[in-house]
């Protein structure tokens, strides 16, 4: 058998895909498909490497109407810094949804995951935050703390960013005003960020909750990105009890390994029907925010649907540009 497969590097993929309205809209359409059962999405495959503090997730989904499906491997090996290597890496492979034949290897080093995760945050804010926001907050100063604000800027005209992070805050404050075109202020603690913001995005790998319910105020929207495994948590479970609307990307994930799982354990949530899915909101099956006073929380664990959508977009763009190395095998 002879297969022609395209190899795309991170450098090439960065020239094909960024956080744009097209990407945000494609991810939003994917969420709608997911909640209308036009997506076949298997449970996340997970492999742990406890001796080296490592974890690997494999995600995938078949999305009706898309030519391909992605298999995305993402790894976090948290002792890598001792070796001078980044903790996170990964890649995607893309296959034909018509024939199962491999089409492309996307050596993105996690870049496409960053983009599709940022885009999901924008989709959440578009439907769940107040329309008029002045101040947005971000907890964490990693790559995703950057992409979240870049994506948010495309759906909400905020005037300033407040940040708190245990590390990396100085570089963020220096770099991001130029990227976002708004002022970026380092704050003394999480409380100050939350109390003064209309939208807060939490983007840390924390294993201990740090955001308290008493800081929530009318009109606030929180998107919580960090928790994607049983042992991770950013919000105290009491936050979930104070919210007027709870949304997640996928109930079967959020109630098993995201923030809502801690809500169930604490007895604050009773069942999965205490939350709606983002796709139910984007497709109009459920309401998003209905008043400026509501407190809304969206928990994003990351879905294979997003990986298939972004990989398909990147591949189409690369093909239209004639990019990539073709290997015959």
From CA 93, how far away is CA 73, in angstroms rounded? 9
Task: Please identify, using beta-carbon distances, which residue of 84 and 181 lies nearer to its own copies.
Answer: 84
Report 31-50 residues binding its own copies (CB under 8 A).
40, 42-43, 45-49
Per-residue contact flags (x/-) with its own copies for residues 60 to 99, judged by CB under 8 A: xxx------x-x-x-xxx--x--x-xx--xxx-x-x-xxx
* 102 lines the binding site for its own copies (CB under 8 A): yes
Shortest distance (Å) from residue 75 CB to its own copies: 3
| Closer by beta carbon to its own copies, 79 or else 157 | 79
Residue 166 CA: distances (Å) to CA of 156, 170, 193, 203: 26, 10, 13, 12
**Among candidates 112, 309, 139, 130, which has minimal Cα distance to 224?**
139
Binder of its own copies out of 58, 169, 182, 319 (CB under 8 A): 58
User: Rule CB under 8 A: is residue 22 a binding residue for its own copies?
Assistant: no
Question: Pick the catalytic residue: 4, 59, 72, 159?
Answer: 72
* Residue nearer to its own copies on the CB measure, 188 or 326: 326
As a whole number of angstroms, the distance between CA 153 and CA 114 comes to 16
65: left (phi over 0), alpha (psi -120 to 50) or beta: left
Does 107 contact its own copies by CB under 8 A?
yes
Q: Is 25 left (phi over 0), alpha (psi -120 to 50) or beta?
A: alpha
Rounded Cα distance between 253 and 81, Å, is 29
d(CA 223, CA 172): 19
- Using CB under 8 A as the binding rule, the residues of this chain from 290 to 319 that contact its own copies are none
Q: How far is CA 318 from CA 5, 20, 24, 168, in A?
A: 13, 16, 18, 33
Of 107 and 192, the one with the shorter C-beta distance to its own copies is: 107
Stretch (H or E) spanning 177: helix 169-180
Complex with its own copies: residue 1 or 181, whichever CB lies closer: 1
| Distances from the Cα of 289 to the Cα of 149, 181, 245, 270, 306, angstroms | 20, 27, 8, 22, 23
Beta bridge pairs of residue 252: none
**Considering CB under 8 A, how many residues would be counted as binding its own copies?**
52
Does residue 272 belong to the site contacting its own copies (CB under 8 A)? no
Nearest approach, Cβ of residue 257 and its own copies (Å) = 14
Nearer of residues 102 and 177 to its own copies, judged by Cβ: 102
Cβ-contact 182, 159 below 8 angstroms: yes
Minimum Å gap between C-beta 143 and its own copies is: 10
**In the complex, what is the shortest distance from the CB of residue 10 to its own copies, in angstroms, rounded to a whole number?**
5
To the query of whether residue 72 is one of the catalytic residues in this protein, the response is yes
Per CB under 8 A, 252 contacts its own copies: no
The whole-angstrom separation of Cα 46 and Cα 56 is 6
One residue of 15, 38, 54, 272 binding its own copies per CB under 8 A: 54
Name the strand (E) or helix (H) holding 313: helix 304-320
Contact region for its own copies (CB under 8 A) — 23-31, 53-61, 166-174, 255-263? Answer: 53-61
Chain residues binding its own copies by CB under 8 A are 1, 3, 5, 7, 9-11, 40, 42-43, 45-49, 52, 54, 56, 58, 60-62, 69, 71, 73, 75-77, 80, 83, 85-86, 89-91, 93, 95, 97-102, 105, 107-110, 325, 327-329
| Residues noted as catalytic | 72
């Amino acid at each position: 058998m002879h297969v022609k497969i395209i190899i795309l590097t991170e450098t090439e993929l960065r020239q094909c895909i960024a956080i744009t309205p097209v990407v945000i809209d494609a991810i939003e359409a994917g969420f709608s498909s997911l909640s209308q059962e036009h997506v076949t999405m298997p449970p996340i495959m997970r492999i742990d490497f406890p001796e080296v503090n490592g974890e690997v997730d494999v995600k995938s989904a078949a999305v009706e109407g898309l030519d391909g499906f992605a298999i995305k491997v993402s790894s976090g090996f948290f002792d890598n810094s001792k070796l001078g290597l980044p903790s996170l890496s990964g890649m995607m492979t893309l296959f034909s949804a018509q024939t199962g034949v491999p089409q492309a290897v996307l050596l993105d080093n996690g870049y496409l995951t960053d983009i599709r995760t940022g885009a999901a945050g924008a989709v959440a804010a578009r439907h769940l935050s107040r329309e008029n926001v002045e101040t947005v907050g971000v907890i964490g100063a990693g790559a995703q703390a950057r992409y979240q604000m870049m994506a948010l800027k495309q759906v909400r005209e905020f005037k300033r960013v407040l940040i708190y992070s245990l590390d990396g805050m100085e570089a963020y404050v220096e770099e991001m005003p130029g990227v976002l075109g708004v002022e970026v202020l380092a704050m003394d603690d999480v409380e100050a960020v939350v109390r003064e913001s209309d939208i807060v995005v939490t983007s840390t790998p924390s294993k201990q909750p740090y955001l308290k319910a008493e800081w929530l105020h009318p009109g606030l929207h929180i998107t919580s990105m960090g928790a994607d495994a049983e042992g991770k948590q950013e919000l105290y479970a009491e936050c979930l009890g104070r919210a007027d609307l709870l949304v997640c990307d996928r109930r079967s994930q959020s109630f098993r390994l995201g923030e809502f799982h801690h809500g169930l354990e604490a007895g604050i949530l009773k069942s999965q029907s205490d939350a709606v899915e983002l796709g139910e909101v984007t497709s109009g099956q459920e309401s998003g925010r209905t008043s400026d006073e509501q407190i809304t929380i969206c928990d994003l664990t990351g879905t294979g649907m997003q990986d298939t959508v972004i990989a398909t977009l990147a591949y189409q763009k690369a093909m239209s540009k004639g990019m990539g190395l073709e290997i015959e095998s």
